[in-house]
Structure 1
Amino acid sequence: MTLTQPEFAGAQIRPSPNFGERIGGPADMLVLHYTGMDSADDAIEWLCSPRSEVSAHYFVFEDGRTVQMVPEDKRAWHAGASSWQGQRDLNSRSIGIEIANPGHQGDYPDFPPKQIEAVVELCQYCVKKWAIVPQRVLAHSDIAPQRKEDPGEKFPWRSLFDAGVGHWVEPSTATGGRFLHRGDRGQPVEALQAMLAMYGYSVEITGLFDEDLETNVRAFQRHFRPARVDGVADVSTIETLHKLLSAIPEGPPKG
């Protein structure tokens, strides 16, 4: 299928050949990325090159221009090896949006207001069209924490939430107090693992605070408690996770 008209009003068309058929039904997730390249033009060239074997449904430039690369009912190649709520092939379940930003491997600038306005509008459209529940609007780092950091702690998830997109609670203030970190063992670690798994992170309940748990805690912090991203489960991190679980909107995600 070749794109001739954008599905999102106002988007430009720049087709990517890198897509396939969805497996198992329509999209029920929205995954946000940053490009992680110095130049937005270079990033979109890469996403549209058959050599790259990567793509996304939409691309948002710093100035707010939006480009559609893959039809929404097709399987774009943006999530890679990933997992959420025990599900894997997340490319088949998701709409992928790439946001132009050099990211952590560059100077990781703030996302410009015009870009965020465009991302919010695009996300509003996607969640309404595809009936995506708030807790299925995710960062690439949420679903692939061992490999990815994007869109990172500077991305304004609160702005999306205020516009009716995604799940959010006001984070508890990062202060001192007791904490859990790598090497700890026991029931408190099990409880932390269980809470992260309950929300959707791919965490095995072992009672050991290992590298895998540290990486998932860091991913959680990037999205929901961005004031300090260190992989240490301090009081603020655990309180924020409690509040988030308590505030899950009614109605289970589509399985």
Structure 2
Amino acid sequence: MVPLSTAKIDTTGELMSRRHFLHSLLSGLTLGHVCDGTYAHAPSRSSFSLSSDKLVREATQLSIPGGKLMPVPKFLVVHFTCGMSGRSSVAWWNKPQAKGVNAHFVIERDGELLQCRPCNRMCAHAGPSIWKGVRGLNACSIGIELANAGNAVQQGLLFGKYRAPHGVTRATHKNGLTADWENYSEAQLKTCFQLAAMLHEEYQFQDIVGHDDIAPLRKNDPGPLFPMEALQNFCGLTPTTKQ
């Protein structure tokens, strides 16, 4: 993970430190306060709420039927879509070519929250995976996808004329890959932090991790620009990125 004090994110046309960016991002939230790059969690103030059928009341529902019943989830897994709009990813998941891949939530670049399946139903978002001795995290985790092209922004063959609306930053992933990565928007990260806080209050996750933590040889999302340690702190979990 890129240290909070050194990673650079271009969100307003000028580079700023990730620490300063996250301070400006969350200072307006009533969820907590910033304290030297960490966040005090106040889950009762989340702007999201969960219904008895495990749907987020404030989310736009784009239902993908199916999914086996899931016991109480142990983990929350964060991804990027490696795509354009969140809705385009959901549309792809509904095609046979997607081979059943999907996730519980997608967050658009403007912060809109989409929900594809109730939190008590399994989604195929993790694939072959392991975390702290638990294999196959599809069966015991909730997946959040952020609409973001990741390092594919530099692959014109994949995205054609796509231009990252919030710019890109050159950074090195913890797996050693140095590339241009699409920046996350402030609105996306606000939604992600608030959603994660509400879900953690409901389920008391053992860990919040990235896809690149549970499948490091296959995946690099959510990438070096996602503030994973800050999210873990915000939800009251001890930051961990090791098995």
TM-score (norm 2): 0.62
- Counterpart residue identity of residue 91, structure 2: E
| C-alpha distance in structure 1 between counterparts of 2:233 and 2:140, whole Å | 25
1:105–1:166 distance in 2 versus 1, CA, 3 Å: farther
Mapped pair 1:58 → 2:58: no
1:163 deviates by 2.5
| From 88, 92, 100, the counterpart of 1:46 | 92
Tell me the percent identity: 29
1:46–1:82 distance in 2 versus 1, CA, 3 Å: same
- Counterpart residue identity of residue 139, structure 1: G
Considering fraction of residues, name the structure with more helix: 1
153-162 or 56-65, which deviates more:
153-162
1:86 deviates by 1.6
- CA deviation string 1:20-64 (max 9, x = no partner): 233xx3211000000001343321211333541111111100101
Mapped pair 1:70 → 2:141: no
- Counterpart residue identity of residue 9, structure 1: R
Output aligned runs, 1:139-150, within 5 Å: 139-150=210-221
Residue in structure 2 matched with residue 221 of structure 1 by the alignment = none
| C-alpha distance in structure 1 between counterparts of 2:86 and 2:105, whole Å | 13
Q: Does the Cα contact within 8 Å between 2:110 and 2:188 map onto a contact in 1?
A: yes
Residue in structure 1 matched with residue 32 of structure 2 by the alignment = none
Unaligned runs of 5+ in 2: 1-50, 155-180
Mapped pair 1:130 → 2:206: no
- CA deviation string 1:218-246 (max 9, x = no partner): xxxxxxxxxxxxxxxxxxxxxxxxxxxxx
Q: Does the Cα contact within 8 Å between 1:139 and 1:151 map onto a contact in 2?
A: yes
Mapped pair 1:118 → 2:191: yes
TM-score (norm 1): 0.59
SS state of the match for residue 160, structure 1?
A: helix
- CA deviation string 1:154-212 (max 9, x = no partner): 0012442452354338xxxxxxxxxxxxxxxxxxxxxxxxxx8xx42xxxxxxxxxxxx
Residue in structure 2 matched with residue 245 of structure 1 by the alignment = none
Q: How many residues align?
A: 166
Residue in structure 2 matched with residue 182 of structure 1 by the alignment = none
Unaligned runs of 5+ in 1: 170-195, 201-255
SS state of the match for residue 33, structure 1?
A: strand
| C-alpha distance in structure 1 between counterparts of 2:233 and 2:94, whole Å | 33
| C-alpha distance in structure 2 between counterparts of 1:18 and 1:152, whole Å | 29
- Structure label with greater radius of gyration: 1
